[in-house]
Amino acid sequence: MGQLLSTVWCFKLSSEQPSFLINHLTIWFGAYTQNKTQPAKEHNTIPLCDAKTLNLLKLKPHFILFTNEMSIIVRRGIHSMPTLNAAKVSAAMLEKGQSGVIDASLTLIRERAKLKGELVRALGGAKATSTLLGVPLGHNSSFLQGPAFAPPRIREAIWCGSTNSTTEEGKELQDARVLTDVGDVPIQEIRDCGVDDHRLMNVIGESVKLVMDEDPLRPLVLGGDHSISFPVIRAVSEKLGGPVDVLHLDAHPDNYDAFEGNIYSHASSFARVMEGDYVRRLLQVGIRSITAEGRAQAKKFGVEQYEMRTFSRDRHILENLKLGEGVKGVYISIDVDCLDPAFAPGVSHIEPGGLSFRDVLNILHNLQGDVVAGDVVEFNPQRDTVDGMTAMVAAKLVRELAAKISK
């Protein structure tokens, strides 16, 4: 049955198990036996994942098999359980339940933003305060989904104590008027209720607007994969009442029409952004992995692309940018893989030949314009070094971007 890599319990069903469970497990078993050369000897013998799960479901082990293939199928089966369960629930009931979860999620962001806004206003003197909002979303990644685990790792690195809390330009992050935090959008909890990506993108956008409702808070979003930039930029533009200029640092243009058929793919986020009236100018810097479609899409949308192969020639332009005049401000999106992997190995898509960390800071520090919001995305803790080097890199990007936004 293949290499002996993982343990899978198998069991026989009895009348003690509820009918919905029998239906689910029969489906899993069918998926397992479909590709086997020999038919199953017992139709009611099915694989599950581990002893803990068996205990929770009150199932007794029947026998044990060892196969990596089965464990993959089982994990998918258990993950799909809410979806299969939903077939037993009326559409109206499901919609009501999902709406309740979404409302509760937005209430949490609203109340935290309200509290932090009141604090900053009480302190006085702030025109704009960088406000961390985590969006732990990774399922729109085309390769690895580790960026979903990034927000807490970035926060941990910001406040880990290995460095002081002052930015390079002298702003003190301990001052709540410079940097505050409203927590994370509960992405996985919302998805677990069967909410689709269209509604999920709206939830992300509404969360951003709730932050911006509390003047002088300005969103600084922690990803998550790059798919989150679309709803965030859309929300910022809608809230401010007009388009913004976007500075996008990345190894990839992320402008496929619908990568692998997914319109919300992290590789399609800037196609979605440019389809609306949310952006006047989009500058993409650090590009070094681009296809013919990527170039065609850039031409279609009038994107200004600066590829790494010409960076030495373009450096003077990029280190003296002036953006945001005549629009509602500047949005900065930093994909950590814009950096050469020597500086940031903890990313899903390793692309050699990137920007140095100082290149990025020079572009950021020298930018002239009113930076109204931003994001740092695509840090993948599951690929980071043991000592968390990329977490510290992502944290410093957040720190310096926070200094740029706060006023």
pLDDT, tens digit, for every residue of 371-395?
Answer: 999 999 999 999 999 899 999 999 9
In eight-state DSSP terms, residue 4 is -
Asked whether residue 134 falls in the same domain as residue 61, the answer is no
pLDDT > 90? residue 184: yes
User: What percent of the chain has pLDDT above 90?
Assistant: 77
pLDDT > 80? residue 8: no
Query: Is residue 94 one of the residues assigned to a domain?
Result: no
Per-residue pLDDT, 26? 33
Band of pLDDT at residue 115, cut at 50, 70 and 90 = very high
In eight-state DSSP terms, residue 166 is B
Per-residue pLDDT, 407? 97
Band of pLDDT at residue 302, cut at 50, 70 and 90 = very high
Cα gap 137→221, rounded to integer Å: 12
Q: Which of 51-60, 203-212, 341-350 has the lowest mean pLDDT?
A: 51-60
- Identity of the highest mean pLDDT range in 53-57, 91-95, 272-276: 272-276
Query: Is residue 170 one of the residues assigned to a domain?
Result: yes
Asked whether residue 240 falls in the same domain as residue 162, the answer is yes
Per-residue pLDDT, 85? 63
Q: How many CA atoms lie within 13 A of 304 on its CB side?
A: 14
pLDDT > 80? residue 275: yes
Query: Is residue 290 one of the residues assigned to a domain?
Result: yes
Asked whether residue 175 falls in the same domain as residue 230, the answer is yes
Asked whether residue 35 falls in the same domain as residue 129, the answer is no
Domain count, the chain: 2
> Domain containing 328 — which CATH number?
3.40.800.10
Asked whether residue 344 falls in the same domain as residue 202, the answer is yes
Per-residue pLDDT, 90? 82
pLDDT, tens digit, for every residue of 10-22?
Answer: 444 444 444 333 3
Query: Is residue 1 one of the residues assigned to a domain?
Result: no
* More confident position, 11 or 187: 187
In the numeric block, which tokens belong to residue 5?
Answer: 């890599």
Cα gap 383→378, rounded to integer Å: 11
Q: Which residue range is the domain that position 12 belongs to?
A: 7-86
Cα gap 24→260, rounded to integer Å: 28
In the numeric block, which tokens belong to residue 358?
Answer: 């100082």
pLDDT > 90? residue 329: yes
Report the pLDDT averaged over residues 153-174: 96
Asked whether residue 74 falls in the same domain as residue 184, the answer is no
pLDDT > 90? residue 65: no
Report the pLDDT averaged over residues 210-225: 98
String of DSSP letters for 333-392:
EEEGGGB-TTT---BSS--SS-B-HHHHHHHHHH-BS-EEEEEEE-B-GGGS-TT-HHHH
The total of other beta-carbon atoms located within 10 Å of residue 237's CB is: 25
For residue 253, whether the previous peptide bond is cis, meaning omega lies within 30 degrees of 0, is: no
Query: Is residue 171 one of the residues assigned to a domain?
Result: yes
Compute, in degrees rounded to 10, the torsion defined by CA atoms 267, 401, 282, 226: 10
For residue 224, whether the previous peptide bond is cis, meaning omega lies within 30 degrees of 0, is: yes
User: What percent of the chain has pLDDT above 70?
Assistant: 79
Helix (H) or strand (E) holding 61: strand 61-66
Report the pLDDT averaged over residues 197-206: 98
What are the backbone dihedrals phi and psi of residue 301, each rounded to the nearest 5 degrees, phi first? -95, 0
Domain boundary among 86, 111, 144: 86
Asked whether residue 218 falls in the same domain as residue 182, the answer is yes
pLDDT > 70? residue 82: no
Query: Is residue 41 one of the residues assigned to a domain?
Result: yes
Per-residue pLDDT, 66? 33
Asked whether residue 200 falls in the same domain as residue 152, the answer is yes
Query: Is residue 210 one of the residues assigned to a domain?
Result: yes
In eight-state DSSP terms, residue 174 is T
Domain boundary among 54, 86, 118: 86
Query: Is residue 227 one of the residues assigned to a domain?
Result: yes
Report helix, strand or coil for 196: coil
If you average pLDDT over every residue of the chain, what do you get? 85
Band of pLDDT at residue 83, cut at 50, 70 and 90 = low
Residue 133: name the closest of 118, 107, 161, 112 by CA: 112
Asked whether residue 123 falls in the same domain as residue 196, the answer is yes
Asked whether residue 13 falls in the same domain as residue 160, the answer is no
pLDDT, tens digit, for every residue of 234-268?
Answer: 999 999 999 999 999 999 999 999 999 999 999 99
In the numeric block, which tokens belong to residue 160?
Answer: 């880990």
Asked whether residue 219 falls in the same domain as residue 264, the answer is yes
Asked whether residue 246 falls in the same domain as residue 351, the answer is yes
Task: Report how far apart the first and last C-alpha atoms of the chain are (Å, whole number).
Answer: 63
Per-residue pLDDT, 51? 45
pLDDT > 70? residue 187: yes
- Contact criterion met (CB below 8 Å) for 318 and 361: no
Domain boundary among 86, 118, 153: 86
Per-residue pLDDT, 73? 37
In the numeric block, which tokens belong to residue 228?
Answer: 């989150």
